[in-house]
A = this chain, B = another copy of it.
Amino acid sequence: MRILDTKNFSVPGFKTWGIHCGIKKEVKKDLALIVSDREAAVAGVFTRNRVKAAPVLVDMARARSGKGRVIVANSGCANACTGKRGLSDAHATAELAARELGVKPDAVYVASTGVIGEFLPMQKVATGISLATGLLSPSGWEQAAEAIMTTDIYPKLSVVREEIGGKTITVAGIAKGSGMIHPGLATMLCFIVTDALIPAPALKRALLSSADQSFNNITIDGESSTNDMILCMANGAAGNKRPAAGGKDIKKFQACLDAVTRSLAMQVVRDGEGATKFVELTVQTAKNPVEAKRAAMAVAKSSLVKTALFGEDANWGRIMVALGNAGVEMDEARTDIFIGKAKIVEKGLGQGKAAEREAALALKQREVRITIDLHKGKAAATVWTCDLSYEYVKINAAYRS
């Protein structure tokens, strides 16, 4: 597998673009189109929040068919908590795109992100779809990635190439964060395309597994949004032969998909609202994988741990508090904690000034690694998080104004 530069790549059989059509108040891109030149297999993963935005409801129904050709995504308005009118706006968006592009409305998936409780400005959406259709390009991915941003600082892209069944295939994705990031997704949109031929059921299995080792291992503030989704389209333009279930081709495809989702998930954390640190947190020697993940997430989402990280303070007591609250088997007197390479806690006890000084140095870096040994079993889990800064409060206090 080769990891490609995200400047000006293309994926055979796909065109895309992103434009500004006035959904956002500022002059920033706010509508993206992704179009396959032929019918593609489609798989989706959707928010587990009970409150689901209109586009999520539309796409969950569409995805049952396992096929499609187009994604229309807007930022600036979430079309969430908008009732029947919101649902009819989401359908109307799909119909507008279908008409412009000469496809059936059933083949069009819709996605939205932005403020909750406002209606889509349908006149602007119509203009935007028409405008974007005219500009569609095989190498428009950066424009599309920009058009789905909200409080994100930079666009998020990832692309890899691999040989499968004698053919070169490409897997590429774009994503947006950046608040409300938590397992079970986030205000997180992620669109992945590939020219590989992958039947829809295999695509769905691969996507679920891939989400579990990427987007479901990150947390920014412990919330899952109404609008989160990952959509993946596989259009077969590469001409590879159908990969056998469990065979080496499907494994290679899985590896490509995993590389893309993991890269995008990490980009989302790095660009977390107000984040100044990227933190990789591993809990090992936990009783079982579920407890390992639960313990890691409990520490990763603790406001007290996250503010200490922002303050570059090796306050391991707060890590211990979060572990004690995690609802997993742990015993203070067996627990070891490392910050970077510094073992600051051994068997539940602080290891003194020298270890704290070494940990303090590690905490001054932009990237921080925390490792926790519970000595209760053999399971491990790694999650990614960021710190909690003044900027997070500022962004979220002022978001709608």
Contacts and interface: CB of A to CB of B under 8 A. Distances in A.
Interface of A: 49-52, 78, 80-83, 115-118, 179-180, 184, 221-226, 302-304, 307-308, 310-311, 313, 315-318, 320-325, 330-333, 345, 347-350, 388-390, 392-394, 396-401
Contacts of A333: 83
Contacts of A221: 303-304
14 contacts: A49-B324, A50-B331, A51-B324, A51-B330, A78-B317, A81-B332, A81-B345, A223-B318, A226-B317, A303-B392, A303-B396, A308-B397, A315-B400, A390-B390
A390 B179 CA distance: 17
B397 A321 contact: no
A116 B400 CA distance: 39
A317 B117 CA distance: 6
Contacts of A316: 81, 116-117
A332 B49 CA distance: 11
Contacts of A179: 304
Contact of A304 (B49, B320, B330, B396): B396
Nearest to A344: B117
**Which of A80, A81, A308, A398 has its CB near the most chain B CB atoms (within 10 A)?**
A81
B389 A321 contact: no
Nearest to A401: B313
A78 B184 CA distance: 36
A223 B50 contact: no
A81 B115 contact: no
Contact of A81 (B82, B331, B349): B349
A116 B223 contact: no
Nearest to A301: B222
Contacts of A311: 396-399, 401
A313 B397 contact: yes
Contacts of A332: 50-51, 81
Nearest to A398: B311
Q: Give the number of times this chain occurs in the complex, counting copies.
A: 2
A348 B333 CA distance: 49
A308 B399 contact: yes
A71 to B, nearest CB: 23
Nearest to A47: B324
Contact of A51 (B50, B315, B320): B320
A393 B400 contact: no
Contacts of A322: 223
A342 to B, nearest CB: 14
B50 A116 contact: no
Given A50-B330, A180-B304, A304-B221, A393 B310 contact: yes
Contacts of A117: 316-317, 320, 345, 349-350
B223 A321 contact: yes
A51 B316 CA distance: 13
Nearest to A314: B400
Contacts of A304: 179-180, 221, 223, 396
A226 B320 contact: yes
Given A50-B330, A311-B396, 13 more contacts: A50-B323, A51-B332, A81-B317, A81-B348, A81-B349, A83-B347, A116-B317, A221-B303, A223-B321, A225-B321, A303-B303, A311-B399, A313-B400
Given A83-B349, A303-B303, A401-B311, A226 B324 contact: yes
